[in-house]
């Protein structure tokens, strides 16, 4: 494992209206990643949980925003840790901005991935059945997300728990375990491809 990344949230000051900042540790080096755009009152901020205290609707909404962003950052960290080369602070800052400002939905990622796959087929780099198999597995995943009420899920929000439920749904369709595992692997490939083509090299 070449990269080790840990993300956290902190506030900019103890003044009346503070901004929630994103901080990271990249291979032991602290990296300031800038603002989330979320303003909070310092007295309402819990530094341990890195969330706002309280149960009112506005607080719940703000905490939900932070949780969604945290999920995306964690998903990226898992991807970065699998890379064979060291990540730089500048790359991390660029990726963080893209995650925050331009989240990509699963549907959009699939569209881009399948267009790329089709171009690979048309140039003879992969066989037609390979492209068809990708389409089939991705279609199964979109159907699964629709039934889960997550049709608008962001790609960075795909978790290992969600993939386990997806595998179970494929098995319940009467498919063999090996096929269900390949379906899982297809979605993991989609996530890696999306990060690599839409974030890391952007």
Sequence-ordered list of residues with C-beta below 8 angstroms from that of 102, at least 6 positions apart, any chain: none
| Residues 24 and 31: beta-carbon distance below 8 Å | yes
CATH topology for 106-200 is: DNA polymerase; domain 1 (1.10.150)
Eight-class DSSP state of 15: S
| Residues 100 and 69: beta-carbon distance below 8 Å | yes
At residue 9, what are phi and psi to the nearest 5 degrees?
-115, 145
Distance CA 121, CA 143 (A): 25
Instruction: Tokens 């390979």: give the residue.
Output: 130
| Residues 22 and 36: beta-carbon distance below 8 Å | yes
Express each pLDDT in 84-143 by its tens digit. 778 888 878 777 766 665 556 788 888 888 988 998 898 899 999 999 999 999 999 999
> Which pTM was predicted?
0.56
**Residue ranges per structural domain of the chain:** 5-101, 106-200
Distance CA 95, CA 89 (A): 10
């Amino acid at each position: 494992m070449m990269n080790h990344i840990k993300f956290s949230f902190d506030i900019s000051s103890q003044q009346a209206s503070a901004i929630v900042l994103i901080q990271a540790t990249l291979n032991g080096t602290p990296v300031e990643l800038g603002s989330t755009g979320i303003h909070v009152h310092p007295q309402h901020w819990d530094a341990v949980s890195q969330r706002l205290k309280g149960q009112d609707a506005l607080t719940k909404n703000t905490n939900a925003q932070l949780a969604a962003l945290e999920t995306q950052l964690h998903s990226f960290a898992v991807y970065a840790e699998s890379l064979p080369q060291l990540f730089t602070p500048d790359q991390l800052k660029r990726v963080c901005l893209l995650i925050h400002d331009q989240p990509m939905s699963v549907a959009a990622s699939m569209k881009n991935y399948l267009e790329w796959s089709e171009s690979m087929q048309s140039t003879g780099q992969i066989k037609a059945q390979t492209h068809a198999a990708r389409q089939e597995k991705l279609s199964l995943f979109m159907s699964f997300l629709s039934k889960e009420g997550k049709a608008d899920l962001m790609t960075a929000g795909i978790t290992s728990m969600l993939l386990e439920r997806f595998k179970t749904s494929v098995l319940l369709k009467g498919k063999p375990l090996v096929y269900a595992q390949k379906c899982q692997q297809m979605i993991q490939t989609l996530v890696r491809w999306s990060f690599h083509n839409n974030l890391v090299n952007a």
